[in-house]
Chain A
Amino acid sequence: QKEVEQDPGPLSVPEGAIVSLNCTYSNSAFQYFMWYRQYSRKGPELLMYTYSSGNKEDGRFTAQVDKSSKYISLFIRDSQPSDSATYLCAMKKAGNQFYFGTGTSLTVIP
């Protein structure tokens, strides 16, 4: 079983839609959870960083962590064509090894 599971998509939505991206994981020791956005031919850019369970909001983006279900989500409200990218979830426990999902490809259609 992979440490982190993420549906690769592709996901296509109309402009203005609410997008929900998800990852599941198997290791209950994970404490730090991240979402990255990666545009084509660029490096991943950190979007959201959460420690332990709960919600975190930043503008149109909301990250949720449910440690009891080993499930994390990223919601994008009022999606824009500029949100079209690959979204990677990542997580880590104490120490410096990061575990990444495969990424979900998102296209927002004008």
Chain B
Amino acid sequence: ETGVTQTPRHLVMGMTNKKSLKCEQHLGHNAMYWYKQSAKKPLELMFVYNFKEQTENNSVPSRFSPECPNSSHLFLHLHTLQPEDSALYLCASSQEQGSNTEAFFGQGTRLTVV
């Protein structure tokens, strides 16, 4: 248990569905991230939130819509996805200030788009 919890762990959705991924961190961090992990590729940063404000949107298609209602919760809303969006979606958090700025990850949501 790393202090970052993601739900659901697995999700299968059709291309016309709408679903949401949820992330909650219990570490008191002020930055939260969404990453996409595909086979044989480095982690791809999607979004960064710092103190609930989005500070990074890494040219992510609009079919992915993040929401950060507070410093502890992060959502990724999905709609009209494509099969190539199938991947492991990872949430992470970190403390921006101070000497301990390493990121802690959740277990990920394995997404399959059919």
The chain A residues found within 8 Å of chain B, CB to CB, are 4, 8, 32, 34, 36, 41-46, 49, 51, 88, 90, 92, 95-98, 100-103
Contact = CB atoms under 8 A, between A and B. Distances in A.
Given A41-B110, A44-B90, A96-B94, A90 B103 contact: yes
Nearest to B110: A41
Interface of B: 2, 4, 6, 31, 33, 40-43, 45, 48, 50, 55-56, 88, 90, 92, 94, 96, 99-108, 110
A65 to B, nearest CB: 14
18 contacts: A4-B42, A34-B102, A41-B88, A41-B108, A42-B108, A43-B6, A43-B107, A43-B108, A44-B90, A45-B2, A46-B2, A49-B102, A88-B43, A96-B31, A96-B96, A98-B103, A101-B42, A102-B42
